[in-house]
Amino acid sequence: MTQFSANLGFLWSDLSLPDAIRAAKAAGFDAVECHWPFEVPAEDVKAALDETGLIMLGLNTIRGDVASGDNGTAAIPGREQEARAAIDQALDYAARIGTPNVHVMAGFAGGPKAHATFISNLTYACEQALKHGITILIEPLNHYDAPNYFLATSEQAKAIILEVGAPNLKLMFDCYHLQIMEGDLVRRLEKMLPLTGHIQFASVPDRGTPDHGEVNYNFIFEMTEKLGWTAPLGAEYKPGNTPTDQTLGWLKK
């Protein structure tokens, strides 16, 4: 039976992170994940996870200077020190709350120097993550939501994963982003599953609940089961102006 994780970056974003964890448990989710939890004391998050019995599957490295438009720094030449500080911060927090995955955000960059910078920083991240038994994830983002983001396709991510060659570097397979950039989701899942560390989903093109739009997620969920995927799938959709609890008809089905 397919399991689901609530991404608390979008779901129950009106609540504190500990209360959002409790809300996800009450709604029937099997796990949770988040974006940037660092302003919340790790012990408060850990207490909510222990109370509910849920695991926090993943979190992201910080974006950098958000006011200036940053969306990660790991592929930006000249900002290696900042990128590695963000990696250290994320790994420390993840280790303290028992999170198995950290998404290292590449940022807006391009070209050979950006590629070399990303490879170097990912090598560092994987070496540090091994000490905690943590997997590093990289995620292609679509060029409508994140123009000029360094990592845009699953094939680019695959090449980077193979070049780094670390056993704990995996792909974040976000169906929403990859449908926009590449489509052919089922065959892509079949091809990329050995390199995949986490799967996320949202409707396309509006990034809403998965029960509408151009992707038949009932079929996608069935296929992940048939392919042998057993970890929770990440619901990373935007509820808009609707309270999260009122958007969960798809989950009840």
Give yes or no: 236 in active site: yes
Q: Residue 60 and residue 228: Cα distance in Å, rounded?
A: 26
What single string gives the DSSP state of each residue in the chain? ---EEEETTTTTTTS-HHHHHHHHHHHT-SEEE-S--TTS-HHHHHHHHHHHT--B-EEE---S-GGGT-SB-TTSTT-HHHHHHHHHHHHHHHHHHT--EEEPPB-B--SHHHHHHHHHHHHHHHHHHHTTTPEEEE----TTTSTTBS---HHHHHHHHHHH--TTEEEEEEHHHHHHHT--HHHHHHHHGGGEEEEEE--TTT---TTSSSS-HHHHHHHHHHTT--SPEEE----TTS-GGGGTHHHH-
- Residue 247 is encoded by which pair of tokens? 């958007």
CA-CA distances (angstroms) from residue 58 to 20, 34, 180, 211? 15, 6, 23, 24
Given the residues 33, 127, 182, 236, the one annotated as active site:
236
Given the residues 33, 139, 155, 182, the one annotated as active site:
139
Give yes or no: 39 in active site: no
The residues annotated with a catalytic role in the active site are 139, 236
